[in-house]
Structure 1
Amino acid sequence: MKVELCKVVRGCRLGVWTGFGQQHSLELPGCLLYTRCATVPHLTQDTLHTLSCLPTVTQVTLDSLAEHHEVLEEFQEGVRKFAGLHDTAVFCSLHDPATTCPTGHVTNKTVSVWGSGGRIEMTVAKFMAMQALIQPDCYQSMADGDTWQTNTSRKRVRKAVDRTLAHLDECLLLHHKTAQLKNTAVFGVVEGGDILEERVRSARETAKRPVDGFVLDGFQSPAMEQELRGQLITAVTAELPLEKPRLLQGVGRPDQVIACVEAGVDLFEGFFPFQVTERGSALCFQYSVTPDPEDAGSPPPTVLEINGERPAVEHPKENEDGNPETITQFEMNLKDIRYREDFRPLVEGCDCYCCGNHSRAYVHHLLVTNELLAGVLLMLHNTAHYLGFFRALREAIKREQLQELKTAVTTVDLRGRK
């Protein structure tokens, strides 16, 4: 397993991640396919595969699978075959990135995951036994990620880094003794909260271990400023080997993705379309840039016209977990009554099944009448739009037009004004 870089532009890494799973490869920067209990929310395998260019790596989460360990133990052939994920590699992470885990349930010997039945405490032995049942192509090691909130004390952050390194050493020891994980890659986890020195220490020490890639955890707090996030990630990636992939957890907004790619990140979790779908919204941000004049003979990137319209967005309010509840500037709230008689597609020029066959008014109707089809259509569109954004991101790096892409994505008028 390695990253083959073809271009590095001001920190942005363009290349291919190869040598994992059944000889799969994934273009970088890229995202994983988000699932819950090994299934993409709202979609069957048939509806999912109406989308083209799906990621070749699917993310499953330990918190959604741990309570089903008896089923996997009886099946004995891993989650890929059990869930019908035959044409994809499987990456197993500890927590679901679309939900916020309660804090304060970590000890020197255990971490906790949260399933539908409540808290499940994991020792390293239990964690590795679950990996043997899941049989992923790669997984993140057990880690103390309980310091993602800003202003966590330096002492607590230092303890989290020490615990994470100790967990990694134990995981690696058991990994090499587990026959089911013979061809499975291990990703070490970099912790450190918002303290630069601890982030660097965690990165350096993790890089000394025989890991195949790196997970950058603890950057998901909405209270963390993007400038600080970028500084911390830049410092971390400077300590990591060039040939190994870097996966960032908990960050999905397009503007934040671009900033983190500039800081040296390769991979992201694909949970953002699901969050947008759950809000009854459709992604509608612009991500096309003007093609190079020398390429005038080739087809231009898909242009997604929004007809100059953007829904009004309130100032984000926070729930008890500290996560914004209101929609972002990158989506339209289709529950809004303004769409009741809007018979245009969700996004002009989008080639997903929803935009090709249904209107905003129809999806609005499905939402207000609580029809399950609303989630199916929105998830199809939002996933297609998000994957299109990553294709545009790679193309912008290739053409050295990242600033133009950033401008297209971020300089939007929320109420249709210039």
Structure 2
Amino acid sequence: MKLELSRVLRGTARVGALKGLGRTGQHSLEVPACLLYTHLGTVPHLTQDTLRTLNKLPSVTQVTLSSIAEHLEVLEDFKDGFRKFAGLHDTVLYCSLHDPATPCPAGYTTNKTVSVWGSGGRTELTVDKFMALLKAVQPDWYQSMADGETWQNNTSRKRVRKSVDRTLSHLDECLLVHHQSQELEGTEVFGVVEGGDIPEERLRSARETAKRPVAGFCLDGFQTGAMDRTLRTQLISAVAKELPEDKPRLLRGVGQPDEVLACVEAGVDLFESHFPFQATERGCALCFSFDISSDPELAGRAPPAVLEPSEKKLTAGETLQNGEQDNLKTQMTSFEINLNDSRFQDDFGPLAEGCGCYCCTNHQRAYLHHLLVTNELLAGVLLMIHNTSHYHGFFEALRKALASDELDLLKRRVLRERGGRTETKDQD
């Protein structure tokens, strides 16, 4: 894996390409980029055939140990790795510890173990079991084992320091097993940078991780809602200065377009793409403009109106399930429209003006509203097609804006939908 930068804008925002990806080195990925989010190797709601009809998809697919851990024995018996097991072809496989779309309960980390949660409940992982899983999965690159429980508010300095120490110890143990493993030959390791909201610990974690033979860095603990956005940007900028320029930086748990823009400016190269899935699960469609066409008429055109988020209306006897107890109004962002709302029952426009995805080309907002209120499975399929296409199109526009020095124009276009809301604290 080699990061080749073609341009660094304002000293921090980077554009270029990751080359030599995969065990044979035949893949590449333009950065900034997001990875393809999957659950057990499948993009939620979409079949592999449907997925292949989408354009602009990245060459790197993300799978998580949280969903795979309970299937270790099956994969070990299969012997040929998760890529072949899941029918994934012609893609680079990245394995992370946790699912970015699912919050992890705190309080289950020890000096020797971390815990992950799958459909069968909690699985406790030692370094040996963690590495056994990776030998069975056979990814192209993976995130090292880490203690990432310090992103919650009011974590003590002592606990944060312990998190950094544990994570570095886990990394050393993982690297030792990795270099002795024939199954992981040609696989790259990403070291994890922890440190909570304490600058000194963040910098110590970054410096020490950079001393290890890792191919890249996973910046953990900056998830949406974990800390004030201004502080997050400051910490990421400080951490980036301590990391080698020729190695990629992947940010966990951040997906909102405004947050992505701020973090790219701070020096982040890679993101997870769970945001389209989360919007789909809310019955929402991504609807924000990122057109930076040089055509004066297009450049001055106002983006489609984005309606204010509205709470999901429950019918008699209906209850919120699987974590939906949180207020859906605060979960929604101003970059999406809630198609559950009755105002869309007579709206025959596309989900997003100018979007060329299958859903926007063939269906209207009113039809998606009908599918949602009647609980049709097709609603999730069509929304996921649109949201995935729209989101990855945003990253393509971001790379073009960086390459042509039009980042400010893109920011104005994307942030226009926020309607003057304050940017200093998360609304989630």
TM-score range, shorter chain: over 0.9
Residue 237 of structure 1 is matched in structure 2 by 240
- How much does 1:304 deviate? 9.5
Instruction: Tell me the distance in 1 between the aligned counterparts of 2:205 and 2:337.
Output: 40
Q: Could you say what secondary structure the match of 2:76 adopts?
A: helix
For 1:109-258, list aligned pairs within 5 A: 109-258=112-261
Shift of 1:87: 1.3
**Counterpart Cα distance in 2 of 1:72 and 1:27:** 31
Deviation of 1:326 after TM superposition, in Å, equals: 3.3
1-side partners of 2:114 and 2:226: how far apart? 24
Match of 2:49 among 30, 39, 46: 46
Match of 1:346 among 344, 351, 358: 351
Task: Give per-residue Cα distances to partners, 1:117-146, cap 9 Å, x unaligned.
Answer: 111000000000000000000000000000
Structure-2 residue corresponding to 1:8: 8
Matched, 1:327 2:323: no
State whether residues 193 and 217 of structure 2, in contact with CA within 8 Å, keep that contact through their aligned partners in structure 1: yes
Tell me the CA shift for residue 151 of structure 1.
2.1
Cα deviation per residue 1:194-248 (whole Å; 9 max; x = unaligned)?
1000000000000000001100000014151111000000011101101111000
Distance in 1 (CA, whole Å) between partners of 2:191 and 2:233 is 20
Residue number among 84, 94, 98 corresponding to 2:97 in the alignment: 94
The Cα of 1:313 is off from its aligned counterpart by: 2.6
Give, as a single letter, the amino acid of the residue that structure 2 aligns with 1:145: G
One-letter code aligned to 1:12: A
Distance in 2 between residues matched to 1:237 and 1:326, nearest whole Å: 29
1:313 to 289, 309, 315: 309
Distance 1:155 1:350 in 2: 49
Secondary structure in structure 2 of the residue aligned to 1:8: strand
Cα distance in structure 2, aligned partners of 1:304 and 1:41: 34
SS at match of 1:193: coil
Q: Is the counterpart of residue 407 in structure 1 residue 388 in structure 2?
A: no
- Which amino acid in the other structure matches residue 109 of structure 1? K
The offset of 1:50, in angstroms, is: 1.1
State the alpha-carbon separation in 2 of the partners of residues 105 and 324 from structure 1.
30
- C-alpha displacement at 1:323, in angstroms? 9.5
Tell me, in whole angstroms, the C-alpha distance in 2 between the residues paired with 1:104 and 1:179. 34
Question: Which segment drifts farther, 399-408 or 182-191?
Answer: 399-408
1:222 and 1:322 in contact (8 A); partners too: no
| Aligned AA (1:189) | V
How many residue pairs match? The answer is: 407
Cα shift at 1:291? 2.1
- TM-score of the two chains, using structure 2 as the length reference: 0.91
Distance 2:213 2:71 in 1: 30
Distance 1:323 1:338 in 2: 17
1:373 matched to 2:378? The reply is yes
Deviation by residue 1:144-175 (Cα, 9 ceiling, x = unmatched): 00001122100000000000000000000000
Change (3 A) 1:200 1:292: farther
The structure-2 alpha-carbon separation of the partners of 1:304 and 1:210, relative to structure 1 and needing over 3 Å to count, comes to: farther
Partners of 1:223 and 1:187 lie apart in 2 by: 22
Counterpart contact for 2:310–2:338, Cα < 8 Å:
no
What CA distance in whole angstroms lies between the structure 2 residues aligned with 1:30 and 1:413?
A: 23
How far has the Cα of 1:69 moved from its partner?
A: 1.2
- Percent identity between the two aligned chains: 65
Q: Residues of 2 paired with 1:323 and 1:141: CA distance? A: 33
| Aligned-partner Cα distance in 2 for 1:114–1:325 | 25
Counterpart amino acid of residue 116 in structure 2: V
1:66 paired with 2:36, answer no
In structure 2, what is the equivalent of residue 274 of structure 1? 277
SS at match of 2:242: coil
Aligned to 2:314: none
* CA distance in structure 2 between the partners assigned to 1:169 and 1:323 by the alignment: 41
Q: Which amino acid aligns with 2:362?
A: N
Separation in 2, partners of 1:332, 1:306: 14
Separation in 2 of the partners of 1:393 and 1:213?
22
Deviation (angstroms), 1:71: 1.7
Q: In structure 1, which of residues 379, 382, 390 is the aligned counterpart of residue 387 of structure 2?
A: 382
Matched letter for residue 59 of structure 2: T
Please provide the CA RMSD for this pair. 2.2
* CA distance, structure 2, for counterparts of residue 323 and residue 96 of structure 1: 20
Secondary structure of the corresponding residue to residue 385 of structure 2:
helix
Where 1:167 maps in the other structure, the secondary structure is helix
Alpha carbons of 1:393 and 1:338: their partners in 2 closer, same or farther (altered >3 Å)? same
What SS class does the counterpart of residue 186 from structure 1 fall into? strand
Unaligned runs of 5+ in 2: 312-322, 421-428
SS in 2 for 1:91: strand
AA at the equivalent of 2:337 = M
So what's the TM-score if we normalise by structure 1? Answer: 0.93
Contact 2:35/2:60 (8 A) holds in 1: yes
Name stretches of at least 5 consecutive residues in structure 1 with no aligned partner. Answer: none
CA contact (8 A) 1:287 1:409 kept: yes
| Aligned-partner Cα distance in 1 for 2:394–2:200 | 34
**Aligned-pair CA distance for 1:314:** 5.7
Q: Give the residue type in structure 2 aligned to 1:117.
A: G
What is the DSSP-based 3-state SS (H/G/I as helix, E as strand, rest coil) of the residue aligned with 2:394?
A: helix
C-alpha contact (below 8 Å) 2:346/2:366 kept by paired residues: yes
